[in-house]
Structure 1
Amino acid sequence: MIASSFSNSLVGKPGALAGILALWLSVFLPGCSLTPGMDMKRGSDISDATVPVMKDGKLVKEKVKIVPITADLIIERENARLQDASKLTLPSSEAGPGPYRVGPHDRLQITVWDHPELNDPGGEKILPELAGKVVQDDGTIFYPYVGTVHVADKTVSEIRDLLSEGLSKYFKKVKLDVRVLSFEAHKVAVVGEVKHPGVQSMVDTPLNVAEAISRAGGVTAEADLSHVTLSRGEKLYPINLQALYEQGNNGQNLQLMDGDVLNVPDRYHSKVFVTGEVGRQQALQIHKGKMTLAQALSESNGVDFNTSNTEEIYVIRAGQTKPEIFQLDGESPDAMILAEQFSLQPHDIVFVGTAGVTQWSRVLNQLLPSSFSQVMTRGAFYGF
């Protein structure tokens, strides 16, 4: 009621309106810098706030340098990425797997020709799961005439020679054959976003990453193929299945070994976040392991040119040890080319700054009652 009466009393008095407006500006304008809302420090190459940064194994507080996105930066980052990839030593550089070596719990079928008494009693009537000789935990089997034989870590040909030598002391012209009925000694685990996660037995043919994924029924729709990991002993190796499937990069198709754990993660954490003066603020899923700054802005319905300051397009990369902030000047003619070539990483935050006039408009909307806004509108009509 008071505000309404006050505004009505000033109608037709431009001088009074001008004085009142000047008074309000002098009171509230200095406080604009304190109004809530996200903003970056203009005209500075250092962030306003201090953040935790890892240095010499310890977390310390520092301000983050704001790095302009330029062609030189993109070239430098891409060359560093390629150099790091070339330095990465994957298990594929090691000697490939040789013939299958028998281990505990494997089931062996031993056939001695012309001597059926040495073979499985009952012959074909024995159930397959009960046939043959099971390798004991200590890596041995017992065989008639030969006795206890250590077969663990030996190939079937080596076992055949060993048994033939033992039986030749009792029989002439021994003809003997050995084969693995059940492979139980060497196993790998395939976990994560596959249709049938679990443990897989290794057989007498080499098992690689692609085969193991296929045995597990393939990946699910939520799988992140770009960040698969192989755990071997105390080491963790990154594997890019996307590059294997789409680019034929066989360097990613590693041969698996006993005890390996292959983990296919989900895509849930592979997101970037777009906020600020864009058409739609949202979290975006990184598709097939790659998203550029231009794609992120486009999928967010672009930059709002009515309210944004296109000189202030930021990529905030928190990181675990080294936070980074990058700035793209959208006013530059080559800005969109640079944006298309600047690759984002999971958890990046894309922030588009607000134009000064938009900030001032929002301050007025927050601080001034609607009736006084009407006064200013009328004052504008009268020309002050």
Structure 2
Amino acid sequence: MNDSIRKLVLVLLLLTLAGCALSPGMKRSDENLSDLELPLMKDGKLTTGKVKVTPVTAQLIVERESATKQAIQIPKPESASDSYRIGPRDRLLITVWEHPELNDPGAEKIQPEQAGKVVQDDGTVYYPYIGNIPVGGKTVPEARELLTSELSKYFKKVKLDVRVIAYLAHRVYVVGEVKNPGIQSMVDTPLTVGEAISRAGGSTLEADLSHVTLSREGKTYPLDLLALYEQGHGGEDVYLKDGDVLNLPDRRQNRVFMMGEVQKQQALQINKGRMTLAEALSDASGVNFDTSNPEDIYVIRAAQATPEIFHLNSDSPDAMVLADRFALQPHDVVYVGTAGVTRWSRAMNQLIPSTLGQFMTRGAFYGM
């Protein structure tokens, strides 16, 4: 055996040992943490660190589904029984019986947007004999009582009525995927999220109702309106507060990415906010059984402050029951690992042809 043959045998032996290292069953030194450090938030600062790899188990499914069904604790500014409180820019129509000189002259001929008296920014409204009287923050009955008390200083047996004819003090903003985004004024009855969206013309076909956000006083709350309306999850409809911003995002950004040993690597659209791991694998035409490792199916969830990695061992057909209950989120990456023998085969296919070709060329030259 000449030197060329010995070298070829040595190379094949080394490749065989490498193939054993890549074969199924080999474990990482620390299988509970990711191999690489990832960007994550810690104590309010962006840093790097290894992420825990969480096995997909029945207990994990139960915990995640229970957390999803819990009502979102959004502070209620008011309930349906609360009365509207007058504020700046509201327009009040004050009518005093038997004293037409106190009422708006020709009020029946005035356009509604010009009738009445406007509440000033300081919450006061001017009225004859009384002057500036503070009505801001008061309910209509409270304002009526205050006006009656003040006018009684000048007139006997005062009878008057107060009515809000233009509600402009309390407003919310509805933006995103609604047909008529903009400002919605709150009237005498409390305004709910559903009513605000309806007033804005309803949601568009591209709206993602499962990931609506409500911004209030510097905080942002997630709202799953799809679960609320279709499944009854999430409690009652949420009442809005002055200054709230309601945003309906675009569902076209809700995709999961299929990578690794699947039949078709692609980005999948999440329809109506729902897609399970089993559905994603099915939409990608399933795993490649010839080259994949069923023990290594991962879901990488990096689109959040603290990334998460989930591991599903689907070597048993029972594991697909868990996959069918494991809900994916937008921007999840589903990765199906490669079988060790496949990695070995690919390495051999890359290295052996060139090595064997050189060996055969030398053999022909030396008359082997």
Q: TM-score range by the shorter chain?
A: 0.7 to 0.9
Q: Provide the aligned C-alpha RMSD in A.
A: 3.6
* Match of residue 298, structure 1, among 270, 282, 286: 282
2:103 paired with 1:119: yes
Could you tell me which amino acid in structure 2 is paired with residue 330 of structure 1? Answer: S
Is the contact between residue 97 and residue 255 of structure 1 (CA under 8 Å) also seen in structure 2? Answer: no
Q: List per-residue Cα deviations over 1:157-195 (Å, max 9, x = no partner).
A: 222222223333443433322211111111111112211
Hey, what's the Cα distance between the residues in 2 that align with 1:309 and 1:365?
A: 19
2:130 paired with 1:146: yes
Is the contact between residue 19 and residue 340 of structure 2 (CA under 8 Å) also seen in structure 1? Answer: no
2:35 paired with 1:51: no
SS in 1 for 2:158: coil
* Consecutive unaligned residues in structure 2, runs of 5 or more: 361-368
2:315 paired with 1:331: yes
2:56 paired with 1:69: yes
Shift of 1:95: 5.2
Hey, what's the Cα distance between the residues in 2 that align with 1:234 and 1:153?
A: 23
Q: Equivalent residue for 1:353? A: 337
Segment of structure 1 superposing worse, 160-169 or 60-69: 60-69
As a proportion of its length, which structure holds more helix?
1
SS in 2 for 1:258: coil
SS in 2 for 1:312: strand
Q: List per-residue Cα deviations over 1:5-29 (Å, max 9, x = no partner).
A: xxxxxxxxxxxx9989646524656
Shift of 1:330: 2.0
Is the contact between residue 310 and residue 353 of structure 1 (CA under 8 Å) also seen in structure 2? Answer: yes
Which segments of structure 1 move beyond 6 Å, counting only runs of 4 or more?
17-21, 30-35
Q: TM-score, normalised by structure 1?
A: 0.80
Could you tell me which amino acid in structure 2 is paired with residue 136 of structure 1? Answer: Q
Hey, what's the Cα distance between the residues in 2 that align with 1:175 and 1:93?
A: 33
Hey, what's the Cα distance between the residues in 2 that align with 1:338 and 1:369?
A: 43
Hey, what's the Cα distance between the residues in 2 that align with 1:343 and 1:250?
A: 17
Hey, what's the Cα distance between the residues in 2 that align with 1:54 and 1:41?
A: 34
Where do 1:220-235 residues align within 5 Å? 220-235=204-219
Flag the 1:252–1:290 CA change in 2: closer, same or farther, 3 A: farther
Is the contact between residue 208 and residue 253 of structure 1 (CA under 8 Å) also seen in structure 2? Answer: yes
Hey, what's the Cα distance between the residues in 2 that align with 1:169 and 1:353?
A: 86
Q: List per-residue Cα deviations over 1:338-367 (Å, max 9, x = no partner).
A: 111222233222111122343234334434
Q: List per-residue Cα deviations over 1:253-305 (Å, max 9, x = no partner).
A: 11111111112222244322111111111122223233211111011111111
Q: Equivalent residue for 2:198? A: 214
Q: Equivalent residue for 1:342? A: 326
Could you tell me which amino acid in structure 1 is paired with residue 106 of structure 2? Answer: G
Equivalent pairs counted in the alignment come to 356
Is the contact between residue 92 and residue 119 of structure 2 (CA under 8 Å) also seen in structure 1? Answer: yes
Is the contact between residue 61 and residue 326 of structure 2 (CA under 8 Å) also seen in structure 1? Answer: yes
Shift of 1:335: 1.5
SS in 1 for 2:36: strand
* Consecutive unaligned residues in structure 1, runs of 5 or more: 1-16, 377-384
Q: Equivalent residue for 1:178? A: 162
Flag the 1:131–1:302 CA change in 2: closer, same or farther, 3 A: same
Hey, what's the Cα distance between the residues in 1 that align with 2:312 and 2:80?
A: 47
Hey, what's the Cα distance between the residues in 2 that align with 1:42 and 1:319?
A: 30
Q: Equivalent residue for 2:364? A: none
SS in 2 for 1:231: strand
Is the contact between residue 169 and residue 185 of structure 2 (CA under 8 Å) also seen in structure 1? Answer: yes
Is the contact between residue 41 and residue 48 of structure 1 (CA under 8 Å) also seen in structure 2? Answer: no
Flag the 1:97–1:268 CA change in 2: closer, same or farther, 3 A: farther
Where do 1:1-384 residues align within 5 Å? 22=9, 25-26=12-13, 42-44=26-28, 45-46=31-32, 47-52=34-39, 54-55=41-42, 62-79=49-66, 81=67, 85=70, 89-92=73-76, 98-249=82-233, 251-318=235-302, 320-367=304-351, 369=353
Flag the 1:363–1:270 CA change in 2: closer, same or farther, 3 A: same
Hey, what's the Cα distance between the residues in 1 that align with 2:215 and 2:45?
A: 28
Hey, what's the Cα distance between the residues in 2 that align with 1:128 and 1:24?
A: 93
Q: List per-residue Cα deviations over 1:113-165 (Å, max 9, x = no partner).
A: 23322221233222222211111122222222222221111222222222223
Q: TM-score, normalised by structure 2?
A: 0.83
Shift of 1:96: 5.0
Flag the 1:154–1:59 CA change in 2: closer, same or farther, 3 A: closer
Could you tell me which amino acid in structure 1 is paired with residue 56 of structure 2? Answer: I
Hey, what's the Cα distance between the residues in 2 that align with 1:359 and 1:262?
A: 50
Q: List per-residue Cα deviations over 1:66-125 (Å, max 9, x = no partner).
A: 43323233334445x269x36x53224965561111111111111222332222123322
